[in-house]
Structure 1
Amino acid sequence: MILLLFLSFLVFLIIGIPIAFALGLSSLVYLLFSDIPLIVIPQKMYAGLDVFVLLSIPGFILAGNLMNASGITQRIIAFCNALLGHIRGGLGLANVGASMLFGGISGTAIADTASIGSVMIPAMEKEGYDKAFSCAVTATSSTLGPIIPPSLPMIIAATLTGLSVGKLFVAGIIPGLLLGLGLLGLTYFISVKRKYPKKGRASWMVMAKRFYQAFWALMMTLLILFGIIGGVFTPTEASIVAVVYALVIGLLVYKELKWVQLPKIMLDSAKMTASLMVLVGFANLFAWIMTVEEIPQMIAAGLLDLTQNKFLILLLINVLLLFVGAFMETIAALLILFPVLLGVAVHVGVDPVQFAIIMVMNLVIGLTTPPVGVCLFVASSIGNISLEKISRAGFPFLLVSLIILLLVTYVPEISLYLPGLFYD
């Protein structure tokens, strides 16, 4: 019966059905042929959604959309340009820097690619940068969004296992910064080699002005992070604080957010939340079926039968996750595989917080890996360029991402130092 579940799931994906509904329909096929009462569908879906911390997701989505409508993208890009524009390849460096800063607000890679890419890809092309390079920089740097807090995948990971959301947020800071620095270094190296342009150094007055303009946007991340770490509010309360903060900044400080825009922003946020929650519900049903069929135990036993060596187990898990991440949406893969693989990782002595960061990094790197890397598709549509050209241009960036991933995998202190400092 489990073969029927996976075959039907693959067929639904191949014919173009969205992954959330593919999970639901394949689960329905399994239940119909297993004579299990269909009442388990709403029961298991509700069980997956009935988690308090998930209430933070619509709040963070709405806060991100409010800040984006307030002109945050342009302010962050202008600040990064003032800071880095005088360096060779400064516009490419500003692209990565903007992703590092914007990622702390949006929490999603696709939102980062779409928002920053729509501004930076045409600007870089106009300045003489290769279009494929511009698209590759935008797509690969967008993976910083789900690693640097706040992060929707980390909220999901915490929901699945009972881990502290605050711990996971803090654990993502150093890996996110390392990945960002790695991408900055490669962007600079390629820019020097190809003699990409640089601008004149911005005056201190201009830099101060750009920083002031971006200050209130950047403070949102600090407010959320230190509010959670300091125990001032829970992640769910933090998301509401973020919404109120975004409204005040957008309406009263930046004054680019208009009251007439709010209904559409709320509707768009509701749609994004609904699509994510449907995915969570169906994925929970799918995961329950896998548990009934003892698939997690089979996977764990299979990996542990191959080897008990911690380093080899982690390498095998990384290979598996990179493969899955190249074909499956991040949240869906996390919902299905995280509880399964966490047990294996803990068995060989890996800290659950470290493994959550490893898992998220693997899956978001998959967003820039052919053939189904979603961020590559978004960047290619903005740049009007083939996926093949972006993939070739993005290969060096993928290698850097994999090197940082290996460091995070085999050097636990990278992800555990800050949580130990604040929580232990």
Structure 2
Amino acid sequence: MSLKCEVQKSSQTFGSVGSSRLIPSIERVLVAVTEPAAAALVVSEIGILFTGVVSRYVFHSPLVWADEIASILFLWLSMLGAVIASQRSQHMRMTAIVGKLGPQTRAMAETLAVAVSVLFLAVLFPSALHYAENEIIITTPALEISNFWRALALPVGIGLMLLHGVLGLSRMLLPRSNFIGVVLVALIGLFLFAASPLLVAIGNLNLLVFFVGLVAAMVFAGVPIAFAFGLSTFAYLSLTTTVPLEVLIGTMDEGMSHLILLSVPMFVFLGLLIEMTGMARSMVDFLASLLGHVRGGLSYVLVGAMYLVSGISGAKAADMAAVAPVLFPEMKKRGSDPGDLVALLAATGAQTETVPPSIVLITIGSVTGVSIAALFTGGMLPGLLLAVGLCSVIWYRYRNEDLSHVIRCTKRVILKRLVIAIPALALPFVIRAAVIEGVATATEVSTIGIVYSATVGLLVYRQFDWHRLRPMLVETAALSGSILIIIGAATGMAWSLTQSGFSYDLANTLGSLPGGSTTFLLVSIVTFIVLGSVLEGIPAIVLFGPLLFPIARKMGIDEVHYSMVVILSMGLGLFAPPFGVGYYAACAIGKVNPDSGMRPILGYLAALVVGLLIVAFVPWFSIGFL
């Protein structure tokens, strides 16, 4: 994902491997089983959802079983995707501190991170198995089959991740120095167990121990965020409460099983598809022909292209990967500073967070109950407002750019590129219209985009690489699994915080702040900027959305308006260095050293802050068209 929440390095070898054949052989078998199954599940979900849309809207005959089977397969897709993310070292984690350690110390830290992950999966597995067994007596309403077959995905997925973790840990423990990491994990666990009477005695102050101290320690040590959340919650429940530990797996299931979240893998795949079919390139080429001769013209194109592509893929990494390789080479030829390019790329990532169908928008709707259609409508104008702010900075910086060597495209060339780009330019409007007109739900509309993009790629652009299809499907499952397991773990943590009375105390504290809604909005902005830089958008929303949205509602703040403020604040934190995850992702995609963009991004961040404050205190930009 980035230098800070980058891929998990659990499978690195820090010494010779004794069983040089056995462990790789087992891992290859796991890959051979999970990847084709996950790819087939993605295809199945696309087919089921699109068939449901056609049956209901075209033939007026809804498939009553469609949502049910989609929900069953979705949990399997989430868990197998999480397994593949483990195999591919793609679980999100923070490595800002670990990355600065020396080789030997870093090896110990990596071992500690894997040991913690294995510990969490090991203590969770029995609860997951028992949870699945208890679901045997529950029968699904439409298909009339036991819910056991759905819940079985949890112990299977956790068990496969546990097996992979054990294999990786056994490989990493061969250098004796790495064993210190495992010893530290054991000592910390024993200390917390011995201190459990004291932790119970201090009441809700123990929340600081588990959900601030322990979480922070694990996250900064490089433990994947999902496992840090999950193990902290497990430790809190087991050491300070009498709540059955099966509750944790139940809340994780609930958090991961919202059908609206099925749009996450669908839109991830759609983002990969538009890049593969050449639709993203055609849009960018058209915009470049329009503005390429203007001072800073290609920078304006970058802003516009990110806005358009965000309306298609919904995933920031996919957006940047689709746009940067097309524009950056030409921009560098014209003398643009590489640092300024990645700074602008990162800033546009933050600017377009509200542009539908953003995955963060979908997550907010899922965990807070805010209308997805309203969020899709309300998100267009805030993103446009921030784009104007970025363009003002571009104008100032490039006002003296030398364009004497640039050839202006003729009207004929512009018209030709427009004709080529029309099918691609139409896709964001097709998606939005399908939701607004009731053709499809926010979950289903992604499949309309997928079918549309595949058709355009095959028949119009004649660019469809069948060999890339399976890797794209597997990548979709892996990225989705890494996101959804965070949502599941964060849901369990949020439930624990709520049951402890923390949400009530938080509501009272924020509600009693002087200044009413104005102060609340300012505090929310600062809070979510910090959370966005540390946790990224999705876990922050899942943890704090259910706590803060009711307070906003109580203070008379429109939920759609508050959603825009929250999303833009998180986006600012996510793409702002030195801690912002998205900034380093932009640098990786642009192949530019992160140090180069530190100064140039300050001006863009200032424009984003001004735009955010306007959105916060002028609600019309968020709700004017509702």
- TM-score by structure 2 length? 0.64
Aligned-pair distance for 1:337? 1.2
Q: Unpaired segments of 5 or more residues in structure 2?
A: 1-205
Alignment correspondent of 1:28: 234
Number of the residue aligned with 2:516: 309
Deviation at 1:78, TM superposition (A): 0.9
Distance 2:453 2:411 in 1: 28
Q: Following the alignment from structure 2 to structure 1, what is the Cα–Cα distance between the partners of residues 592 and 481?
A: 31
Any idea what SS the aligned residue of 2:599 has?
Answer: helix
Which of 142, 165, 169 matches 2:376? 169
Conservation of the 8 A alpha-carbon contact between 2:295 and 2:400 = no
How far off its partner does 1:366 sit? 1.3
Structure 1 distance, partners of 2:324, 2:404, is 19
Q: Which moved more, 1:68-77 or 1:344-353?
A: 68-77
Aligned residues: 419
Change in Cα spacing, 1:8 to 1:93, as seen in structure 2 (3 Å) is same
In the alignment, which residue of structure 1 is the partner of 2:335?
128
Which of residues 326, 329, 333 is equivalent to 2:533?
A: 326
C-alpha distance after superposition, 1:325-376 (max 9, x if no partner): 1222111111111121112212221001111111111111112212221221
Question: Which structure is richer in relative contact order (CA contacts within 8 A, separation 6 or more)?
Answer: 1
Alpha-carbon distance between aligned partners in 2 of 1:342 and 1:56, rounded to the nearest angstrom: 22
After TM superposition, list the pairs within 5 Å mapping 1:247-326 onto structure 2: 247-326=454-533
Give the conservation status (yes or no) of the 8 Å contact 2:271–2:318.
no
Of the candidates 11, 16, 20, which is equivalent to residue 217 of structure 2?
A: 11
Counterpart in 2 of 1:2?
A: 207
| Cα distance in 1 between the residues matched to 2:552 and 2:400 | 41
- 5 Å-filtered alignment, 1:124-273, equals 124-193=331-400, 199-273=406-480
Cα deviations across residues 114-144 of structure 1 (Å, max 9, x unaligned)? 3322333343222211121111111111224
In 2, the alpha carbon distance for the partners of 1:236 and 1:383 equals 31
2:242 corresponds to 1:40: no
- Greater mean alpha carbon deviation, residues 261-270 or residues 33-42: 33-42
CA contact under 8 A between 1:85 and 1:198: conserved in structure 2? Answer: no
Q: Return 118-127 or 371-380, whichever deviates more.
A: 118-127
CA RMSD of aligned residues (A): 1.8
Partner residue of 1:115 out of 299, 322, 327:
322
Q: Could you give the per-residue CA deviations for residues 176-218 of structure 1, whole angstroms, max 9, x where no partner exists?
A: 1111122122112211156577833321211112122222122
Hey, which of these two has a bigger chunk of helix by percent?
Answer: 1
1:133 and 1:67 map into 2 onto residues whose CA distance is 26
Q: 1:373 to 1:105 in 2, by over 3 A?
A: same
For residues 414 and 135 of structure 1, the distance between their equivalents in structure 2, rounded to whole angstroms, comes to 28
The amino acid that maps onto 2:229 is: L
- Alpha-carbon distance in 2 for matches of 1:344, 1:237: 31
Q: 1:382 to 1:234 in 2, by over 3 A?
A: closer
| Alignment check: 8 A CA contact 1:103 1:149 kept | yes
Q: 1:198 to 1:83 in 2, by over 3 A?
A: farther
For the Cα contact (< 8 Å) 2:282–2:421, is it kept in 1? yes
Secondary structure, aligned partner of 2:228: helix
Cα distance in 2 for partners of 1:52, 1:63 equals 18
Match of 2:560 in 1: 353
CA distance in 1, matches of 2:460, 2:442: 25
Work out whether residues 328 and 590 of structure 2, in 8 Å CA contact, stay in contact via their aligned partners in 1.
yes
Shift of 1:83: 1.2
Structure 1 Cα separation of the partners of residues 584 and 271 of structure 2: 22
1:147 aligned counterpart, secondary structure: coil
Moved more, 171-180 or 190-199: 190-199
Distance in structure 2 (CA, Å) of the matches to 1:120 and 1:175: 25
- After superposition, the Cα gap between the structure-2 partners of 1:117 and 1:197, relative to the gap in structure 1 and judged at 3 Å, is farther
Q: CA deviation at 1:16?
A: 0.9
Distance 2:451 2:500 in 1: 45
Which stretch shows the higher mean deviation, 354-363 or 212-221? 212-221
Q: Could you tell me the TM-score, scaled by structure 1's length?
A: 0.94
The alpha carbon displacement at 1:305 in A equals 2.4
- Code of the residue aligned with 1:242 in structure 2: it is G
Partners of 2:575 and 2:369 lie apart in 1 by 29
Structure 2 CA distance, aligned partners of 1:78 and 1:100? 15
1:335 to 524, 542, 547: 542
Deviations 1:222-248 (A, max 9, x none): 111011111122112212211211211
Aligned to 2:594: 387
Is contact 1:90–1:199 with CA below 8 Å preserved after alignment? no
Give deviations 1:63-94, integer Å, cap 9, x for gaps: 22111111223222211111111110112121
**Which amino acid is the alignment partner of residue 239 of structure 1?**
S
Tell me, what secondary structure is at the counterpart of 1:160?
helix
Q: Which residue of 2 aligns with 1:65?
A: 272
Check if 1:101 corresponds to 2:308: yes
Taking structure 1 as reference, are residues 15 and 407 closer, same or farther at Cα in structure 2, changes over 3 Å only? same
**Closer, same or farther in 2 for the Cα pair 1:124/1:238, shift >3 Å?**
same
Return the offset for 1:163.
1.5
Q: Which moved more, 1:197-206 or 1:126-135?
A: 197-206
Q: Which amino acid aligns with 2:310?
A: G
2:354–2:382 CA contact under 8 A, matched in 1: yes
Using a 3 Å threshold, how does the CA distance of structure 1 residues 197 and 230 change in structure 2: closer, same or farther? farther
The aligned amino acid for 2:503 is: P
Contact between 1:89 and 1:196, CA under 8 Å: does it hold in 2?
no
The structure whose Rg is larger is 2
The one of 345, 354, 374 equivalent to 2:581 is 374
